[in-house]
Amino acid sequence: MNSHGFIKRWLLAALVAPALTIMAQPTGDSIPPKVNELKVDLQFMTRGEARHGGLMSKGDHSDEEEGEEEKKTPNSNFLLTRTRLAINYKRDWLEARVTPQHSGVWGQEGKGGFNLFETWVKLNAPFGLFAQVGRMALDYDDERIIGSDDWAMASSSHDVLRVGYEGHGHKAHVILAYNQNSTVMTVGDSHYANGAQPYKTMHTAWYHYDLPRFPLGMSVLFMNVGMESDPDAFTKGTMYQQLIGGYLKFHPNRWLAEVSYYHQMGKNEFAQKIDAWMMSAKVKFQPANYGFTVGYDYLSGDDHFAVPTGGSIGMSLHKVIKGFSTVYGSHHKFYGAMDFFYVSTYFNGFTPGLQNAYFKANYSPIKGLNINASYHYLATATKLEKLDRSLGNEFELQASYAITRDIAISLGGSFMKGTETMEKLKRSTNKNVLRWSWISLNVNPRIFSFKW
């Protein structure tokens, strides 16, 4: 073979071989799709808190001589911690999650609290239908009524069956729960108390709609909660209380407006009639890397508050309960960061309600750094005998910085100048010296992700 023929054959092979190689490669249709996905996420969070002046203990109901109460003002310093391992599995129509969690205090006797924060399976059907069952965190709208309360180390989750539809701007969920704390075969015994949630039964319907091509979303919420009657109640059995209300969110460009209203009715654990309500409204303007928010919350309170000299709350007979219950919301997000209201109940279970007028400002000078300042004016909703409604003024300053994508540090401080009303209602041990500061580290890496 002459050199000319060899070169021609070599060039032909060089041109044909790549084409044959490409043709020999399997097409997308012949490659089995990777339908299984497994992700594992870790969360480690620790928070140190220092508080000067706090909620009264249940034994602090007697009068104190002037100056004695200042000596009893608590100074609490502690470190909280939470560790979660979220294991998520997904395969076209099937999803599942298991999240073991440990929460506690540094140096706590024993092993702290270990539980399954979430463990559920979800089946996704055609046309946006789904069914989900197990223990899960529930977050709806602004989390005022139903939220996971992530600030609390243990947070909040529910054992429920949830079915629904999501698609074309519509979301409709139905949630059903029946709680007991142990299996029981004794007639008349109730074992749901002190469980994951305090209710015996819970039925919830939620519908949300986002308007197309218009920045408006609206929700309607209905809850029917069954509580076992109190052992001291004259009427025995399951008492049902209802909540119905709505939420609107309008978000044009740099503006945000939110409005909500909820009404409670039915009967409480003592078979007393309930007629309570709340409303909230806020407007936020975010023109650049800074913004401002102004808002107002009103939660109705029980009538006929008389505050005796000893400080305990005297009550006349209540035929109707008018104090609004914030049910299962993320309470720390609202009503002041020092958590004097709706995180802890009043000693006798009644409440004078709350008015919360606030102003907030935020500023982000550099990427990852956010600074927030807020002011709250707090007052009771109910008119009190011989006391002013004003509870005090609370000032807050917070900052957070994302060190990396999955590591963030945040800190904050609050100061409240309370009133005589605040002190007499036993919401604090001292009306003038109420301070709280905290610092938190939050680490959220994804440690494993795999498809097959």
Q: 3-class SS at 127?
A: helix
Beta bridge partners of 26: none
Of 104-108, 137-141, 348-352, least confident by mean pLDDT is 348-352
Which helix (H) or strand (E) covers residue 446, if one does? strand 446-451
> Quick check: pTM over 0.75?
yes
Range 33-132+229-451 classified under CATH 3.90.1150.10? no
pLDDT of residue 29: 58
Q: Is the pLDDT of residue 169 over 50?
A: yes
pLDDT range class, residue 174, cuts 50, 70, 90 = very high
Is the distance from CB of 320 to CB of 273 less than 8 angstroms?
yes
Mean pLDDT (whole number) for 333-361 = 88
Helix (H, G, I), strand (E, B) or coil at 223: strand
Query: How much is the pLDDT for 1?
Result: 53
The residue-averaged pLDDT of 422-437 equals: 78
Domain limits, the chain = 33-132+229-451
DSSP sequence for 12-65: HHHHHHHHHHHHHSPPTTTSPP--EEEEEEEEEEEEEEEEES-PPPTT--S---
Q: Tokens 């140190």 appear where?
A: 48
Q: Pick the range with the lowest mean pLDDT from 23-37, 88-102, 263-277, 319-333.
A: 23-37
Highest mean pLDDT among 1-10, 16-25, 27-36, 325-334: 325-334
Strand order in the sheet with 305-306: 314-315, 305-306, 384-385
pLDDT digits (tens, 9 = 90+) for 403-419: 999 999 999 999 999 89
Eight-state DSSP code of residue 90: E
Averaged over 283-294, what is the pLDDT? Answer: 97
List the one residue out of 409, 379, 413 whose CA is nearest residue 393: 379
* Per-residue tokens: 310: 């000893």
Q: What is each CA distance from 334 to 27, 93, 247, 268, 329, in whole angstroms?
A: 56, 37, 16, 24, 10
* pLDDT per residue as tens digits for the range 10-24: 545 555 545 544 444
Per-chain mean pLDDT for the chain? 85
Judged by average pLDDT, the poorest of 121-135, 275-289, 365-379, 423-437 is 423-437
Instruction: State mean pLDDT over 193-217.
Output: 89
What DSSP state is assigned to residue 128?
G
Q: Is 419 exposed, middle or buried (0-12, 13-18, 19+ CB in 10 A)?
A: buried
98 pLDDT exceeds 90?
yes
pLDDT of 99 higher than 80: yes
pLDDT for 62: 44
pLDDT at position 386 is 82
Residue 233 is predicted with a pLDDT of: 64
Return the residue matching tokens 């707090």.
378
CB 161: neighbour CB atoms within 10 A? 14
pLDDT band of residue 384 (cuts 50, 70, 90) is: confident
Residues facing residue 133 across a β-bridge: 121, 161
- Residue with the two structure tokens 């789904």: 130
Q: How many C-alpha atoms does 322 have within 13 Å on its Cβ side?
A: 18
Residues facing 116 on adjacent strands: 100
Spatial CA neighbour of 230 closest among 268, 201, 196, 179: 268
Of 342, 349, 372, residue with least CA distance to 302? 349
Q: Which segment of 175-179, 236-240, 348-352, 398-402 scores lowest on mean pLDDT?
A: 348-352
pLDDT in the model for residue 186:
57
Q: Checking DSSP bridges between strand 384-385 and strand 354-363, what pairing results, if any? A: unpaired
Q: Any residues with CB less than 8 A from the CB of 15 and at least 6 apart, and which?
A: none
- At residue 21, the pLDDT reads 46
Q: What percent of the chain has pLDDT over 70?
A: 80
Q: From the CB of residue 309, how many other CB atoms can be counted at a distance below 10 Å?
A: 8
Rounded to whole angstroms, what are the CA distances from 305 to 270, 316, 382, 433? Answer: 19, 8, 8, 25
